Amino acid sequence: MSDAQDDTTDDERPSSADEGYTLGKDNPWLWLVALGTPIAAFLVSYGLGAYDKLDLAAHPPGIRIGLVQQLFGTDMLIALIFGGATLLVLLYFAIRYNASAVSAPEPMPVQWGGNTLRLLTIGVAVIILVTFMYAGTTLANTDQMPAKVASRRYGESSVIHMTVVGSQWAWRDTVQGVNYTETDTVRVPANTVVAVNITSTDVDHSWAVEQLGVKKDAIPGQITHTWFVAQPGTYQVNCAELCGKGHSKMTQTLIVMPKSQYVQWARSHGYSVPPSVANSVNATSGASQPAAGSSNDRSSPSTGGSAPSVAAAPASLGVSADV
């Protein structure tokens, strides 16, 4: 190479070992801001989310929502720990090895042994397996568990049955012992296993009470089953399946009353109360004799004391006994 082509001699060329010689002029603060901001947002949002869900799981308005929120909170905590650790390592390497902080690249020695890779793979597999098993257990203890099993599993001896019929665009409910169909507002006792049978007269709907962790499809020609146990309060029922132009207005108010108040309300309107609910109130109040009107508690199906069936729904709903 001639002097005209290259005036720089080998002695004048900087080497990778020369102090101050770098590959570029990157600003580490740029990486800190560019990567640190979303990482901080992730840590804060997932941290607060996990705290809120685990706090709700500790003081749930119902059994099912407590189990669901515990699952969500645990999943968010796992994502926070392992995802956050991964992102922080990424941030460290982006700052530590940015172009202005390192010299010319050198061959990187291989430091990963076979055992390290195997342990990492096994660790990730175990985390995924435990997460799936936890989710499956939660599903088995909520949506897939029959009401009778839930009554034994969670120690709630009081059981009341309710039939829900969906149609465009309203819910029509019949509660055991209440001899009329409720639409806008339905009342049930608290701390009681409410066994729900659900169907539809026209299109697919989905009976959902988000605050209680309950959601079950209402399918024409079929009966689906679910259950819930709730603390006293007022909850909103929605349709969680797009069912037409009135879908967003297909709502209902679910009022969960303390057992004693529910018994008083039912009897004041001439309705009967399931024996398990009445007996629970009597046991709680310490009454040695059955409360006045308890003869209605064991009423026959003709008085409305039996569990409501889909066949007993008003004929105007279009539900027959063959459903």
Q: What's the number of domains the chain is made of? A: 2
Regarding whether 312 and 201 lie in a shared domain, the answer is: yes
Q: Is the pLDDT of residue 239 over 90?
A: yes
* The pLDDT of residue 103: 63
Which structural domain range is residue 45 located in? 18-103+113-140
Q: Residue 268: what residue type?
A: S
Of the pLDDT bands very low, low, confident and very high (cuts 50, 70, 90), residue 114 is: low
8 A C-beta contact, residue 138 and residue 271 = no
Q: From residue 305, give the alpha-carbon distance in Å to each of 60, 111, 188, 301, 308.
A: 30, 75, 14, 5, 8
In one-letter notation, the amino acid at residue 93 is F
148 in any annotated domain: no
Lowest mean pLDDT among 91-100, 176-185, 258-267, 285-294: 285-294
CATH number at residue 163: 2.60.40.420
Q: Report the pLDDT value the prediction gives residue 252, as an integer from 0 to 100.
A: 92
Q: Compute the average pLDDT of residues 196-209.
A: 93
Higher pLDDT, 34 or 164: 164
What mean pLDDT is predicted for residues 186-190?
Answer: 92
E strand or H helix that includes residue 73: helix 63-78
Give the per-residue pLDDT at 3. Answer: 47
Query: How far does the chain reach from its first CA to its final CA, in angstroms?
Result: 94
Looking at residue 200, its amino acid is S
235: nearest Cα among 198, 190, 180, 265: 190
Does residue 204 surpass a pLDDT of 90?
yes
Q: What is the mean predicted confidence (pLDDT) over 160-170?
A: 92
Query: Is residue 1 in a domain?
Result: no
In a domain, 123, yes or no: yes
239 and 134 within one domain: no
Q: Is residue 8 part of a domain?
A: no
In a domain? residue 304: yes
Which of 127, 150, 26, 135 has its CA nearest to residue 79? 127
- Judgement on whether residues 239 and 301 belong to the same structural domain of the protein: yes
Residues 135 and 190 both lie in one domain:
no
> Are residues 253 and 216 both part of a single domain?
yes
Over residues 277-303, the mean pLDDT reads: 51
